[in-house]
Structure formats: structure tokens, C-alpha cells
């Protein structure tokens, strides 16, 4: 539960050597960014009551109108100041200390850092899940304050999503919160036919509220130069991200369960098969497992590239091997994966233990070639399953009336410059969402090709269980 306490009102402060986490329990405002202009919006009235939805709607409308009228008076540098948070941490720490530690710059920065969360209202309209996913990961390079634990990004067509800072919490905690928020919109009538908020309880009396406060910046020529450098850096990084998001709706975990195979193990084996088809080799693979059974628990590593997975893949790519043999090897590899996952959940994994030994060695002044090699080996395949339906009171997601309401989950960038980041979600028995990321600068990776091989591999594996 510790992670839930820091979902809101939390920021990662850059340091020259080490960052630190700042959590502000007394935060009572959010920050809204429209056309690159930042506004402080108090979420409580003079009687310390939360703003009603209709009052909040009015405040947001005021911000949008004000930003439209003020946009021409703000320079591109002022509108791009958030790009600084995308720089390397030590560089951003030095800029923050030198230029944003006094006067109005300090005041504006503190307002952003101490906000409950940030909201970006963008003019961008994504044309696909992939377009939406890319923008949520990195924006336009100058409109997301990446240090914040949570950024809510609303597109011009009314759709929205989150950009989350991973240090404070893992994906399941953020997904739990977001599932609650979005489920309410599906199950309750929160908006009228015109998209306006429904009137609040007539027993509620809103006290006096403050108008939103526009933030200002004083930019020296040196700070402008740093901002431009950050924008250029962000643009290059953003262009290098190769992301593909797929709504796989031919079949889902329901078909996998009929094979009496764990859906997670099935996808992990398909990832191994797809990567081998693409590169003709096996690589170190990371799958995140939650350690929620322990106080302060975060994650443990499931090393999915096992000997059993290797045996299955090598057998699977041979055309002359009987289907029964391939099926037995698949079941054997899936059982091994399930055991590894259970061990990781129950504190029997090895990677956090090895990392603790590595830190202890460094602290005591020792050097271990073994630990250094283990810790620095690249995770060429970094994978994670996003949990779904964490709320027990929700109706059955398999009901077709919810087909257009199922969320696609979230994704992340590749851990290795020469590898893939793969996130997947089972929202119902009939669909699987995949997010596959890599870098264009690597000549050996292609997210689109890998995704095609992944789907091909899953279909081949499912066919093993079909009756002749």
C-alpha cells in the first residue's frame, strides 16, 4: 500500500549525483498546461471543500480562454520550459539550481513540483493507438513535466491518458487508480449529451473560489539556450522511439485457457519464439513480478529465457517434429515459467538479492567481477503484463456492451538500445493489447516486424492444441 500514498503530490527532484523524492501531503492545487502556459488551479474552496465537477469545469474553461488570449505574449522558450525535465538528470539539476532557484522562477517551479498532479490540454489529435501511445510516453518534447509522479494528458478529441514517473510507484498501482477513475465514467452518468458535467448534489454549497493563477518565467539568454538545447534533445529522442501498439482481437486469454496453459506463460514463450525467429539467438529476458506480499515490496525479476523455453523454441522452428512433441515441450516450459513467477512473488527470486549484494559491495569498498557482470548485462527483452480488473465490484468485461470501453493498458521504452520493451494486457477473454518499443537507431530491431512475428508465433502455438 505504500506506493498508493505517493501516486499524487509527488515529484522526483534532480540531483547532481542522486535524485530524491519529494512528497507534499498538504498539496491542494493542480497545475494545468494549455498552449505551453502553466496555471495553478486550487482544488478546494475557502471552506476547504473540493471543487464540484461543474465548478472545476468552469475553472478549466476559464484557463483555456485565458491561454488563447495570452498565447501570443509568451515566447516559444517560455512555452517549452518543461523540456528541461527531459535532459540527463545531472544536467537538469545544474540548470535547476542555477536558473530556477530564486525569484519568480523558483515560485513557479515550486508550484509545479508541489502540485497534486499536472494536466496538459493539448491540441494534438492521435490517429491511432500507436500515435496516442507515443505522445503519452514523450509528448511533443516540451509540454510534459516529467519529474511529476503523474501527468494527465487530454487530447483535442476528448480522449486522454497518463504519463507516470516510475520511481514512486509501479504500473499496477497507477493502473488501479486509473481503472477506478475510468470505470466511473462508464458506469455512472457523469456528463450530459453535450459533454458538460452533470449538476452536483443540490445539498452541496460551494464556498468562494479563487481564479486560476497564471505562472510566469524570467528567462536569461543562457536559460533560453538551455531550453533550446533541451527541445532539440527531446526531439531527437522522441523521433528515435519505434513504438507499435496492437489491439489483438482475433482471440484472447479465453482461447489460451482452453489449452490449459497460463496466459502469461503463453505470451512469454511466444516472445521467446518471436525473438528467435527474428535474430536466431536467445537473450536475457526480464519480466516484472510484483512483491505485494511484503511491506514496501516493489518488483522481482522473472527470468523468462529458461532452458525449457529454449528447448521449446528450437523444437517449434523444426517442421518435421510431431505436434504432440511440441505441445509437451510447450507445457513443460509454461510450467517452469509459472513456478518462476510464483517464486518471484514469494521472495524467492534472485535479482533483488544480487542487487543488494552489489550495493553492499560498493558501500564497503569491495569490487566483485561476478556481481558487476551480472548487474550490467543488458536486458535485451524487457517485458511486463499490466493487470486488469483490479476492482472486484466491476461488471464482467467480457460483456459485448463494453467492447469499446476496454483500455489498452500502458507501455514503456526499451531498456536496452538494442532490444525491445514489451507490455501486454488481457482486458477480456477475447482481446490482448500489445505495446512493443525499440529504437530506430538500432539496425537490428523493428517493432512492427517483431509484433508481426509475435502474432505469428502465438497463432502457431495455439494451433498445437487444435484437434486434427
**Stretch 360-384: mean pLDDT:** 95
Residue keyed to cell 539568454: 221
Do the domain assignments include residue 449?
Answer: yes
pLDDT score at 315: 97
Note the pLDDT of residue 295. 85
Using the predicted structure, report yes or no on whether residue 389 has a pLDDT greater than 90: no
Query: Which of 218, 240, 262 is where one domain is finished?
Result: 240
Does 218 lie in the same domain as 131? yes
Question: Do 193 and 258 belong together in one domain?
Answer: no
Domain boundary among 183, 210, 240: 240
Are residues 200 and 261 both part of a single domain?
Answer: no
Confidence at residue 388, expressed as pLDDT on a 0 to 100 scale: 87
Residues 105 and 123 in one domain: yes
Query: What range defines the domain where residue 339 resides?
Result: 249-346+378-464
What whole-number percentage of the chain has pLDDT above 90?
93
Are 214 and 38 in contact by the 8 Å Cβ rule? The answer is yes
Instruction: Tell me: do 110 and 233 sit in the same domain.
Output: yes
pLDDT in tens, 60-119: 999 999 999 999 999 999 999 999 999 999 999 999 999 999 999 999 999 999 999 999
- Specify the CATH number for the domain of residue 108: 3.30.559.70
118-121 sheet: strands from edge to edge: 160-164, 150-154, 118-121, 29-34, 37-42, 213-214
Q: Give the DSSP letter of residue 15.
A: -
The cell for 461 is 502455438
User: Whole-angstrom Cα distance, residue 116 to residue 178?
Assistant: 15
Same domain, 282 and 229: no
Q: Which of 240, 264, 289 is the last residue of a domain?
A: 240
Q: Is residue 373 part of a domain?
A: no
3-state secondary structure 402-455: HHHHCCCCCCCCCCCCCCEEEEEEEEECCEEEEEEEEECCCCCCCHHHHHHHHH
- The reply to whether 439 falls in a domain is yes
CATH number, domain of 331, equals: 3.30.559.10
Tell me the CA distances in angstroms from 359 to 367, 374, 376, 403, one per residue in order.
10, 13, 13, 47
Q: Where are the alpha helices (DSSP H) in 241-306?
A: 253-258, 263-279
Reported as a single tens digit per residue, the pLDDT across 222-255 is: 999 999 999 999 999 999 999 999 999 999 999 9
Q: Is residue 121, in this structure, part of any structural domain at all?
A: yes
**Structural domain tally of the chain?**
2
As a whole number of angstroms, the distance between CA 359 and CA 416 comes to: 22
Answer yes or no: do 235 and 263 share one domain: no
Helix axes 369-376, 351-364, angle to 10 degrees: 130
Catalytic residues: 166
Number of residues that make up the chain: 468
Q: How does pLDDT run across 8-31, given as a tens digit for each residue?
A: 999 999 999 999 999 999 999 999
Q: Can you give the pTM of this predicted structure?
A: 0.94
Contacting residues for 33 by C-beta, under 8 A, at least 6 apart: 39, 82, 118, 119, 120, 121, 143, 145
Residue 222 grid coordinates: 543562457
Q: Are residues 173 and 223 in the same domain?
A: yes
Q: Are both 435 and 317 inside the same structural domain?
A: yes
Query: Do 165 and 253 share a domain, yes or no?
Result: no
Among residues of the chain, what percentage have pLDDT more than 70? 100
Query: pLDDT per residue over 303-334, tens digit each?
Result: 999 999 999 999 999 999 999 999 999 999 99
**Do 82 and 33 have their domain in common?**
yes
367 lies in some domain: no
Residue 365 is assigned to a structural domain of this protein: no
Is residue 359 assigned to a domain? no
Tell me, what's the pLDDT at 1? 67
SS3 284: coil
Same domain (yes/no): 113, 254:
no
Q: In this structure, is residue 92 part of a structural domain?
A: yes
Mean per-residue pLDDT over the chain, rounded? 95
Q: How far apart are CA 136 and CA 410, in angstroms?
A: 9
Tens of pLDDT, residue by residue over 268-284, are 999 999 999 999 999 99
CA-based torsion, 186, 386, 250, 160: positive or negative: positive
Q: Which residues pair with 41 in a beta bridge?
A: 30
Amino acid at each position: 500500500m505504500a506506493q498508493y500514498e505517493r501516486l499524487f503530490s509527488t515529484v522526483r527532484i534532480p540531483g547532481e549525483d542522486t535524485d530524491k523524492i519529494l512528497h507534499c501531503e498538504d498539496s491542494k492545487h493542480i497545475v494545468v498546461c494549455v498552449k505551453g502556459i502553466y496555471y495553478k488551479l486550487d482544488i478546494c474552496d475557502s471552506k476547504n471543500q473540493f471543487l464540484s465537477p461543474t465548478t472545476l469545469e468552469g475553472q478549466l474553461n476559464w484557463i483555456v480562454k485565458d491561454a488563447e488570449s495570452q498565447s501570443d505574449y509568451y515566447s516559444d522558450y517560455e512555452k517549452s520550459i518543461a523540456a528541461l525535465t527531459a535532459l540527463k538528470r545531472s544536467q537538469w539539476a545544474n540548470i535547476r539550481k542555477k536558473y530556477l532557484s530564486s525569484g519568480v522562477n523558483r515560485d513557479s517551479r515550486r508550484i509545479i513540483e508541489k502540485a497534486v498532479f499536472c494536466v496538459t490540454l493539448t491540441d494534438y489529435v492521435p490517429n491511432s493507438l500507436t500515435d496516442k501511445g507515443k505522445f503519452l510516453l514523450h509528448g511533443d518534447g516540451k509540454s510534459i513535466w516529467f519529474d511529476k509522479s503523474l501527468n494527465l494528458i487530454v487530447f483535442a478529441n476528448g480522449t486522454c491518458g497518463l504519463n507516470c514517473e516510475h520511481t514512486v510507484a509501479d504500473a499496477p498501482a497507477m493502473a488501479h487508480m486509473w481503472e477506478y477513475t475510468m470505470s466511473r465514467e462508464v458506469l455512472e452518468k457523469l456528463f450530459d449529451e453535450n459533454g458538460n458535467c452533470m449538476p452536483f448534489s443540490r445539498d452541496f454549497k460551494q464556498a468562494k473560489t479563487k481564479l486560476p493563477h497564471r505562472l510566469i518565467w524570467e528567462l536569461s539568454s543562457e536559460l533560453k539556450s538551455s531550453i533550446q538545447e533541451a527541445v532539440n534533445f527531446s526531439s531527437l529522442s522522441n523521433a528515435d522511439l519505434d513504438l507499435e501498439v496492437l489491439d489483438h482481437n482475433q482471440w484472447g486469454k479465453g482461447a489460451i485457457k482452453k489449452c490449459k496453459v497460463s496466459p502469461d506463460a503463453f505470451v512469454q514463450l511466444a516472445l521467446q519464439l518471436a525473438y528467435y525467429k527474428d535474430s536466431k539467438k536467445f537473450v536475457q529476458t526480464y519480466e516484472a513480478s510484483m512483491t505485494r506480499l511484503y511491506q514496501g515490496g516493489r518488483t522481482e525479476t522473472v527470468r523468462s529465457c529458461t532452458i525449457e523455453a529454449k528447448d521449446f523454441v528450437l523444437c517449434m522452428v523444426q517442421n518435421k517434429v510431431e505436434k504432440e512433441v511440441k505441445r509437451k515441450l510447450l507445457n513443460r516450459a509454461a510450467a517452469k515459467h509459472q513456478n518462476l513467477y510464483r517464486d518471484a512473488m514469494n521472495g524467492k527470486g534472485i535479482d533483488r538479492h544480487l542487487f543488494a549484494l552489489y550495493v553492499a559491495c560498493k558501500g564497503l569498498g569491495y569490487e566483485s567481477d561476478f556481481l558487476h557482470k551480472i548487474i550490467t548485462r543488458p536486458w535485451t527483452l524487457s517485458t511486463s503484463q499490466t493487470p486488469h480488473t483490479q476492482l472486484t465490484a466491476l461488471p464482467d468485461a467480457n460483456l459485448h456492451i463494453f467492447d469499446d470501453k476496454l483500455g489498452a493498458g500502458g507501455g514503456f521504452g526499451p531498456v536496452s538500445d538494442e532490444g525491445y520493451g514489451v507490455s501486454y494486457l488481457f482486458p477480456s477473454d477475447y482481446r490482448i493489447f500489445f505495446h512493443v518499443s525499440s529504437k530506430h537507431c538500432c539496425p537490428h530491431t523493428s517493432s512492427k516486424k517483431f509484433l508481426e512475428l509475435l502474432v505469428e508465433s502465438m497463432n502457431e502455438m495455439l494451433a498445437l492444441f487444435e484437434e486434427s
